[in-house]
Structure formats: C-alpha cells, structure tokens
A = this chain, B = another copy of it.
Amino acid sequence: MNSLPAAFHQILTQLLGEAWRTDAAALEAHARDNSWRHALPLGVALPSTREQVQAIVRACREHGVPLVGRGAGTGTTGAAVPTAGGIVLSFARMNRILEIRPGDRCAVVEPGVLNGDLQQALMPHGLFWPPDPSSAEICSIGGNLACNAGGPRAVKYGTSRDNVLGLVAITGSGELIQCGGAYTKDATGYDLTHLIVGSEGTLALIVEATLKLAPRPRAQAGLRVLYRDASAAAAAVSRVMAQPVTPTMLEFMDARSLELLRRNGAQVPEAGAMLLIDADGDDDTLPYLLNALAEAAEGDGLLALDVATDGSARDKLWAARRALSPALKSIAPGKINEDVVVPVSRIPDLVEGVQRLSLEAKLPIVTFGHAGNGNLHVNILYHPDDAGENARAHAALPKVFALALELGGTLSGEHGIGVAKRDFMAQAFSPATLATMRAIKQALDPDGILNPGKVLPL
C-alpha cells in the first residue's frame, strides 16, 4: 500500500481532527522502535477514546488498510514498526489511570500509561505492578502487555501475562470485547485475556487493562556470589530454584560480562561468573530468607559471597548489572541481543554452547540475564562495517536459536517475536501448531489488518 484511499483519509480526519496526522514529522516519529528497523507509516492516529479506536479499526477493515498499534516504541523486535505500510495507531493520548483499588489489589488503566508513572501512582498505596523491563520508566503498559514484557523480578512475581486480570480490547474484526475483571480466579469461558497478552497487536488492540498488583515489600537485600566458572554458577541457580525461598531476582553474568564491568571501572573481583540474588520481605524475615538463599548458593566452585542489605552497597550491585547493556557498545558498535529461554537445569549447556559458537564465529558473545527463569540475553557483538564480522554475526544467530530449542527452550522470554524472530518460528513450532495459531489469527482478525507480517512466519 503506497497511499491511503481518499475516503479513508476523510473518515479519519472527521473522526480525529488534529489527532489524525499525515505530516512528515509525525510519520517519522512513528517509523521506528528500539530495533534498527525503520518504515514510514502513511498516517498516524492518536485516539483518545475506545470508541475512536473501534472506529479506526472498522475504517481500516473497510478499506483494507494495515494498522500497527504502538505504545511508547521501546520494543526491540520491530513489532511496532509499520513494515507493511498502512497506519500507526498510537496510544499516547490514552494514558489515564482509571482506578486504583487497593482492597482488590488491582488497577484499571488505559494502555498508554507509562509503566514508571503507574509505579509512582501506586507508591502511596504500598503496591506495585511487578513487570520491570529495563525500559520501565519510559515504556507503556499496553506495550508491556503486547509483548508480554518481563524483567528481573519475574522470577518471583511473573511476567506481564501473569499480572493482568482482565482486558477490554478491539479485535481485528472491529468488535469490542471484554474479558476477566477485578478478580483473581476465573473459570468462566475461554481465556481471551492471556491469549491477547503477548500477541503483539496482531489479534486485538487493548483499550483497557485490569492489572494485578502486589504489595510493596518493606525491605530488600541481595547477595553477590562469585564462582569459578559458568557451570558452577549455573548449578547454583538450579539449587536456589529447588528450595522453598524464591528470590525476587536471580541474575547471571558470565566471565565476559565481568570483564566488561571491570573495563568500565566497576570493582568486580576476578571470577568465572557471578550471580546477583535478591530477596524481599520485612526486617524480621529478610535475614532468614537471605540465609536460605546463601546456603543454596554455596557449593562447588564458589569463590566469594557478599551480603548487601538495603542501601548503597545493594544499589552498587544493581548499578553494575544495569551498566552492562550500555557497556556492550564499548566492545563493538554492532549488537544482536536475543533473549532465549531454556529450562533452568540446562543453563550450563546454553552457556557452554554459546562459548563454542563465539569461538566458531570469532566474535565476542556476552551472556547475562534472568537466570532464575532460564531467560538469558545472548549478545553477539560485531562491527557492522566489517563485512566478515557482519556475516559471521548473522550466521551465528540461527545457531543460538537452534541451541536454545535443542535444549528444550524457546526463542523469546520477554522481548517477543515481531519481525526479528518471525522467520525462526517454524523451527520453534510444528506446522500443525503454527496452523492453529494462524486459525486463531483468522478468527480474531479475519481480514488480516492488525500488524500484518509480525509474529507468524509468512
């Protein structure tokens, strides 16, 4: 589609006024996400109400115009990039927190609310919404739900999908549907809520979400544990996850990650791998929880274990972890960052396999991430201008996916599929399973107008 039908343009102008934009600046501002992908939309709609969203979807359907829903554009897979042309529907103006219900441990929000803004609003109630992607300050709840965002806290509190109780959404057929609500137990009909979460705007556009909240813990503390090698650290991850105290976060960093931290001035002793293990509770219980976690972390290959209670020591630990992703750029300007998942017990094999691929590709690959969920970020680093490195980096990527699948894992734990991993879906799922996903797509979006070309392989 190279231009919008005149009748369509007229409908949207009448419907939205200045909230229907076709100027170059608006188009350019909605052409990217946080991947390297770029595609200009033909128009940008900025609705303020669910009725407007529904009318836009119906107009798109009537005129066969592709529609890409957009939160804050912080995704990493190209899911919000209008690669098939058509229009972008931005939820930037649907950003009201409609209700905070402490007694029901839930909040009702529009999709454009920023994750960070919601957390601020929940603070006085002693509550929080668990998903904590690293973009939390600037990403939207709608985007979090669309790609089932996670973050370090997911090991204790689950991902976005685990923390939503109900949705109001407009399907690709232009119907407003309502599922779930302000309750935590539901055996009433098909679970449309969890189906729509993680479908990356290909089935329906979320216009309201009822989010499950958790009580803010009174105290947090962490352990920094150094190991001889990655296998020793990975074995400790399994031990930690097999005992009753579930950590709040359980992060793994390989030897290259530690090198990188040191190169950037952080004080990290020599070690083959590091775990950051966090717990939350209150002042009475926290020492016991940390003790149980420390006991589980101890074992063959342990080099050092330090406790950091709430405050600056702990902040420093986590600052080191957060500094990691930006620090990758100091090794090489090009980065392919994938977030594969494996069963926790197979982390040693994943780490070992990635080291093998690194040698084979003659490229640094840095591995770190959410070990308690078996969700590691594998960063292939290369110089994009070096044709050889470029080719080897992109040849290594399918091997990372093949390795994760071979170990009984899957392609993505929290970034989603978008365009980035779409062509690997046929390795992750059987033809019959993909056909079932396609049948569901057809059922909810019969004309294929919602985010075409994303998630499902062509």
Interface residues of A (CB under 8 A from B): 101-106, 126, 147-150, 154-155, 159, 161-162, 171, 175-179, 181-192, 194-195, 197-199, 203, 215-218, 238, 241-244, 246, 281-282, 284-285, 288-289, 292, 339, 341-345, 370, 373-375, 408-417, 421, 425, 428-430, 432-433, 435-437, 439-444, 455-456
> Would A185 and B345 be within 8 Å (CB), given that A105-B242, A241-B105, A430-B178 are in contact?
no
Known contacts A284-B288, A409-B183: A171-B436 contact under CB 8 Å? yes
Q: For residue A198, which residues in chain B have a CB less than 8 angstroms away from its CB?
A: 186-187, 189-191
Could you tell me the distance between the alpha carbons of A195 and B444 in the complex, rounded to whole angstroms?
Answer: 14
Cα of A150 to Cα of B178 in the assembled complex, Å: 23
Give 9 A-B pairs besides A176-B432, A181-B409, A190-B440 with Cβ atoms closer than 8 angstroms: A103-B344, A105-B242, A126-B244, A150-B187, A183-B413, A188-B411, A192-B436, A215-B244, A281-B285
Choose one: B148, B155, B177, B244; the contact of A187 (CB below 8 Å). Answer: B148
In Å, the complex CA distance between A374 and B456 comes to 38
Q: Which residues of B contact A162 (CB under 8 A)?
A: 162
Contact of A425 among B189, B197, B339 (CB under 8 A): B189
**Cβ of A370: which chain B residues have Cβ within 8 Å of it?**
185
Tell me which of A161, A184, A288, A374 has the highest count of chain B C-beta atoms within 10 A of its own C-beta: A184
CA distance A126 to B244 in the complex (A): 9
| Distance in angstroms between the alpha carbons of A454 and B296 in the assembled complex | 48
Can you list 21 residue pairs at the A/B interface with Cβ under 8 Å?
A103-B238, A104-B241, A105-B242, A126-B242, A126-B243, A161-B191, A181-B408, A183-B374, A184-B374, A187-B339, A187-B415, A188-B412, A189-B198, A189-B417, A189-B437, A190-B199, A190-B437, A191-B199, A194-B194, A194-B195, A284-B288
Alpha-carbon distance A361/B206, docked complex (angstroms) = 42
Closest partner residue, chain B, to A442 (CB atom): B443
List chain B residues, Cβ under 8 A from A292: 282
Docked complex Cα distance between A130 and B188 (Å)? 20
Identical copies in the complex:
2
In the complex, what residue of chain B is closest to A150 when comparing beta carbons? B185
Are A242 and B102 within 8 A (Cβ)?
yes
Q: Which residues of B contact A154 (CB under 8 A)?
A: 184-185
**Is B179's CB under 8 angstroms from A433's CB?**
yes
Contacts of A341 in B (CB 8 A): 183, 185-186
Whether A103 touches B241, Cβ cut-off 8 Å, given contacts A175-B432, A188-B428, A414-B185, is: yes
A185 near B375: Cβ-Cβ < 8 Å:
yes
Instruction: A177 to B176: give the CA distance in the assembly, Å.
Output: 29
Bound Cα distance from A414 to B183, whole angstroms: 12
Asked if A216 meets B190 with Cβ closer than 8 Å, knowing A344-B103, A439-B443, the reply is: no
Residues from chain B with Cβ under 8 Å of A244 in the complex: 126, 215-218, 281-282
* Pick from B103, B177, B178, B241: contact of A242, CB under 8 Å: B103
Decide if A183 touches B343 in the complex (CB within 8 Å): yes
Contact A187 B159 (CB under 8 A): yes
Q: How far is the CB of A32 from chain B (nearest CB, A)?
A: 20
- Nearest CB on B from A420, distance (A): 12
* Cβ contacts under 8 Å, A414 to chain B: 185, 187
Q: How far is the CA of A12 from the CA of B179 in the complex (A)?
A: 40
Query: Known contacts A285-B285, A429-B178, A432-B176; is A190 also within 8 Å of B195 by CB?
Result: yes
**A345 x B288 contact (CB < 8 A):** no
Of all chain B residues, which has the CB nearest A280? Answer: B244
Asked whether B187 lies within 8 Å of A437 as measured between CB atoms, the reply is: no
A345 near B104: Cβ-Cβ < 8 Å? yes
Complex alpha-carbon distance, A191 and B456, angstroms: 13
A187, A198, A433, A436 interface centre (most CB from chain B within 10 Å): A187
| Residue in B closest to A104 when the chains form the complex, CB atoms | B343
In the complex, the answer to whether B285 meets A343 with C-beta atoms within 8 Å is no
Q: Which residues of B contact A421 (CB under 8 A)?
A: 188
User: Which B residues are in CB contact (< 8 Å) with A155?
Assistant: 184
Within the assembled complex, what's the spacing in Å between the Cα atoms of A102 and B194? 27
Please indicate the chain B residues that have their CB under 8 angstroms from the CB of A282 in the complex: 244, 288, 292
Question: Does A444 lie within 8 Å of B433, measured CB to CB?
Answer: no
Nearest-CB distance from A102 to chain B (Å)?
5
A439 with B433: CB separation less than 8 A: no
CB-CB under 8 A from A203, the residues of chain B are 190
